[in-house]
């Protein structure tokens, strides 16, 4: 069972998020896990020497993975394909994700060829939000390569993307669908989620992974504050990764993964944007 994540670029927060993700995996995996970080900054993971494998990402490789005129996280699918183990299973996790409970049942589910993504967000043909209706309007009735979307297909959150090696070809199918959509002019910010959720979903074996993981994309600022506090504390105490994992297991981060902004806050944000 391999766990992997992608952390690159100039922003310090993503490396601290990935650090706490690894700590949470060490806390909750039933045995010492096989963990791989795909990164252009291997020095940021020196604390995990002999615990984490580093797959060095070069600027040229990243550019190729992102594709021409990048608009969504195509590189995540390429990174998952690049670190697929030769046997067993892969869980590819966003850096802003934390394991929240024992992962034994998660690993067992994957071993039985269940496909897992974080959670199902909405059905393409039924959601009434304006942006989602617009997306369905762009997809309805069109062919993309050999694929035609159904109103019953769903958008899934890909903070967790997990599969067995025997299903690795599904990542190739998802990338081919992504590229066909890009060539057709689709520019939705979550295209990477849409294609993998559709390809995985059509198998009938896709299930949510949210019982094992917290994906805190909707409350990142508050999680970052707590993550920074804890990592600084680990370093002051000169804790090992295993000691940090034990501390995390005893005292998990219990913040809500998503905080909806108050309507007034939305209006204020809109006004600030409008005057720039």
pLDDT in tens, 100-128: 999 999 999 999 999 999 999 999 999 88
Output the pLDDT for position 276.
42
68 pLDDT tier (thresholds 50, 70, 90): confident
Buried b (16+ CB within 10 A) or exposed e, 96-119: bbbbbbebeebbebbeeebbbbbb
Instruction: Give the integer Cα–Cα distance in Å for 203 and 192.
Output: 18
Instruction: Give the integer Cα–Cα distance in Å for 196 and 184.
Output: 18
Instruction: Enumerate the H helices of 153-190 as residue ranges.
Output: 169-183
- Tokens (6 digits) for 54: 């580093």
Q: Which residues make Cβ contacts (< 8 Å) with residue 260, sequence separation at least 6?
A: 218
Tell me the mean pLDDT in the region 184-197.
97
Q: Is pTM, for the whole model, over 0.75?
A: yes
Percent of the chain with pLDDT over 90: 91
Output the pLDDT for position 268.
59
Helix (H, G, I), strand (E, B) or coil at 190: coil
Output the pLDDT for position 183.
96
Rounded (10°) CA dihedral 244, 246, 249, 250 = -110
Q: For each of the domains in the chain, give its residue range(s) and CATH number, in order of start.
A: 2-274 (3.90.550.10)
275 pLDDT tier (thresholds 50, 70, 90): very low
pLDDT of 264 over the 80 cut: no
Q: Which residues make Cβ contacts (< 8 Å) with residue 149, sequence separation at least 6?
A: 124, 139, 140, 142, 198
Pairing of strands 2-7, 34-39: parallel
Output the pLDDT for position 269.
61
263 pLDDT tier (thresholds 50, 70, 90): low
Least confident of 59-73, 201-215, 257-271: 257-271
pLDDT in tens, 25-44: 999 999 889 999 999 999 99
Output the pLDDT for position 150.
96
């Amino acid at each position: 069972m391999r766990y992997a994540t992608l952390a690159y670029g100039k922003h310090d927060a993503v490396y601290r998020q990935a650090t706490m993700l690894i700590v949470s995996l060490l806390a909750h995996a039933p045995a010492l896990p096989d963990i791989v970080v795909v990164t252009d900054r291997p020095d940021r993971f020196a604390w995990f020497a002999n615990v984490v494998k580093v797959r060095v990402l070069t600027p040229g490789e990243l550019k190729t993975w992102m594709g021409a005129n990048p608009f969504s996280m195509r590189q995540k699918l390429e990174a998952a394909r690049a670190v697929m183990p030769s046997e067993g299973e892969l869980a590819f996790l966003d850096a802003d994700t934390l394991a929240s409970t024992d992962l034994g049942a998660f690993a067992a589910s994957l071993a039985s060829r269940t496909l897992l993504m974080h959670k199902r967000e909405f059905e393409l043909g039924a959601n009434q939000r304006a942006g989602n209706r617009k997306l369905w309007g762009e997809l309805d009735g069109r062919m993309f390569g050999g694929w035609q979307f159904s109103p019953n297909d769903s958008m899934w959150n890909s903070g967790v993307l997990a599969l067995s090696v025997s299903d690795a070809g599904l990542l190739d199918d998802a990338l081919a669908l992504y590229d066909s959509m890009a060539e057709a002019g689709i520019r939705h910010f979550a295209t990477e989620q849409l294609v993998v959720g559709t390809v995985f979903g059509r198998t009938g074996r896709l299930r949510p992974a949210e019982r094992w993981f917290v994906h805190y994309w909707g409350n990142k600022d508050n999680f970052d504050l707590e993550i920074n506090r804890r990592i600084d504390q680990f370093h002051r105490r000169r804790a090992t990764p295993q000691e940090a994992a034990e501390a995390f297991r005893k005292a998990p981060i219990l913040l809500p993964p998503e905080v909806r902004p108050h309507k007034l806050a939305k209006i204020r944000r809109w006004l600030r944007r409008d005057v720039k």
